[in-house]
């Protein structure tokens, strides 16, 4: 880290951190902490990647409005990139994603158009495409855009190779939202580190890949209908109600060695455990990916090196079930600590 011409130069180059107390004995478990990106998630990479690819291809004119459908992190990343580069941004987002996401995007100058929860991810994508057509806006199409996978091949994958140079990397563990991370990193690993096994996690309630049911698709790669194996799950940013084209590409490449399903309860539990036992403060999909990595660690041969992606910061979930059990007022125990010395007590304490 040093001096940068603008904030966009600080995207990527996130740290890999060893897990100490939560790792089973005999294996080396590492996490790549994407919360270190300037706007706190792995999607900052994609935001820069899709906008710069569109600029280079002449698809995005100076001052043209950018539009995207997003569960939040892409919109927040795009809001930063568009603010820095001077493009207006409109985001469509299903109303069930956390309120702090909307506020962050609006604070960064974006417009947020909500879509009804019942329509899920499918409706927000349809709405964004419709608005793009009606107004001549540039849609970044994160679920199909090759520039999404490309930025992960150029940055995320290179960083991983550099951090494990001269060492084994036995397993790489990820989830998928668009599949940009999955496709972009796994094709580089397949070519340059063929011994690394690629493990993909998905929600127990929405095992789209595990179901073996293929996604129907328009010629442009977008989904025709919602996938039958989808049920709502709490991992915001993972597994939408269709199999994105980029995810299907990774499956078709034969890149995936194992699929692990993770329950919503385990996702919450391990986000909390990472915070309290390792001091690593990350979101629900990070907890979910970590739960999957622990499953891998349990039956990995001794001495294995495992790398687990942690996609975003826990600060994005203050109004979600992740914080449901965290009180705002003093607990009994805290009141007792307060009463144990004379000063600064509340009358009611």
The residue ranges that bind ligand PMP (CB under 6 A) are 41-43, 71, 73, 175-182, 237-238, 283, 285, 311-312
Which residues, other chains included, contact 336 with Cβ-Cβ below 8 Å and sequence gap of 6+? Answer: none
Name the nearest CA neighbour of 250 among 349, 178, 347, 329: 178
Q: Which is nearer to ligand PMP, 175 or 292 (CB)?
A: 175
Q: How far is the CB of 192 from ligand PMP (least distance, A)?
A: 20
Q: How far is the CB of 236 from ligand PMP (least distance, A)?
A: 6
Q: Which is nearer to ligand PMP, 37 or 304 (CB)?
A: 37
Q: Which secondary-structure segment (H or E) carries 93?
A: strand 89-94
Q: How far is the CB of 334 from ligand PMP (least distance, A)?
A: 31
Q: Which is nearer to ligand PMP, 64 or 161 (CB)?
A: 161
Task: Retrieve residue 109's tokens.
Answer: 């100058």
Q: How far is the CB of 70 from ligand PMP (least distance, A)?
A: 7
By DSSP bridging, strand 16-18 and strand 28-33 are: antiparallel
Q: Which is nearer to ligand PMP, 190 or 335 (CB)?
A: 190
Q: Reduced to 3 states, what is the DSSP secondary structure of residue 201? A: strand
Give the C-alpha distances (Å, rounded to integers) separating 223 from 117, 216, 220, 252.
18, 6, 9, 16
Q: How far is the CB of 26 from ligand PMP (least distance, A)?
A: 29
Which residues, other chains included, contact 164 with Cβ-Cβ below 8 Å and sequence gap of 6+? Answer: 193, 305, 307
Quick count: other Cβ atoms within 10 Å of Cβ 244?
29
Task: Retrieve residue 149's tokens.
Answer: 């996978």
Q: Which is nearer to ligand PMP, 60 or 149 (CB)?
A: 149
Give the C-alpha distances (Å, rounded to integers) separating 292 from 172, 175, 224, 284, 299.
11, 9, 30, 13, 12
Q: In whole angstroms, give the CA distance from residue 53 to residue 50.
A: 5
Q: How far is the CB of 314 from ligand PMP (least distance, A)?
A: 11
Q: Which is nearer to ligand PMP, 27 or 182 (CB)?
A: 182
Q: Which is nearer to ligand PMP, 41 or 304 (CB)?
A: 41
Taking the chain, what is the end-to-end CA distance rounded to the nearest angstrom?
48
Q: How far is the CB of 183 from ligand PMP (least distance, A)?
A: 8
């Amino acid at each position: 880290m040093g001096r940068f011409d603008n904030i966009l130069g600080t995207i990527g180059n996130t740290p890999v951190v060893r897990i100490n107390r939560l790792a089973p004995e005999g294996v080396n478990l590492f996490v790549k902490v994407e919360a270190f990106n300037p706007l706190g998630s792995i999607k900052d990479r994609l935001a820069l990647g899709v906008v710069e690819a569109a600029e280079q291809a002449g698809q995005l004119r100076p001052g043209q409005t950018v539009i995207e459908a997003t569960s939040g992190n892409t919109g927040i990343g795009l809001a930063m990139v568009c603010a820095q580069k001077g493009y207006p941004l409109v985001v469509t987002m299903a109303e069930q994603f956390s309120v702090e996401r909307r506020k962050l995007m609006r604070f960064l100058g974006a417009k947020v158009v909500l879509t009804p929860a019942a329509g899920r991810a499918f409706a927000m994508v349809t709405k964004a495409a419709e608005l793009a057509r009606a107004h001549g806006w540039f849609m970044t199409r994160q679920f199909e855009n090759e520039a999404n996978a490309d930025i992960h091949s150029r940055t995320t994958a290179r960083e991983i190779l550099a951090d494990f140079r001269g060492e084994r990397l036995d397993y790489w563990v990820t989830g998928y939202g668009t599949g940009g991370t999955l496709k972009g990193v796994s094709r580089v690993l397949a070519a340059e580190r063929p011994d690394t096994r690629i493990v993909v996690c998905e929600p127990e309630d929405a095992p789209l890949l595990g179901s073996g049911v293929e996604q129907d698709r328009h010629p442009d790669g977008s989904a025709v209908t919602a996938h039958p194996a989808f049920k709502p799950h709490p991992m915001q940013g993972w597994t939408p109600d269709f199999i994105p084209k980029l995810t299907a590409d990774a499956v078709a490449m034969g890149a995936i060695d194992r699929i692990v399903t993770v329950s919503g309860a385990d996702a919450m539990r391990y986000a909390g455990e990472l915070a309290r036992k390792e001091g690593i403060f990350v979101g629900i999909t990070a907890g979910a990916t970590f739960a999957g990595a622990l499953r891998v660690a349990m039956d990995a041969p001794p001495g294995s090196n495992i790398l687990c992606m942690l996609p975003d910061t826990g600060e994005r979930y203050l109004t979600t079930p992740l914080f449901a059990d965290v009180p705002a007022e003093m607990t009994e125990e805290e009141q007792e600590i307060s009463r144990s010395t004379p000063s600064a007590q509340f009358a009611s304490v």
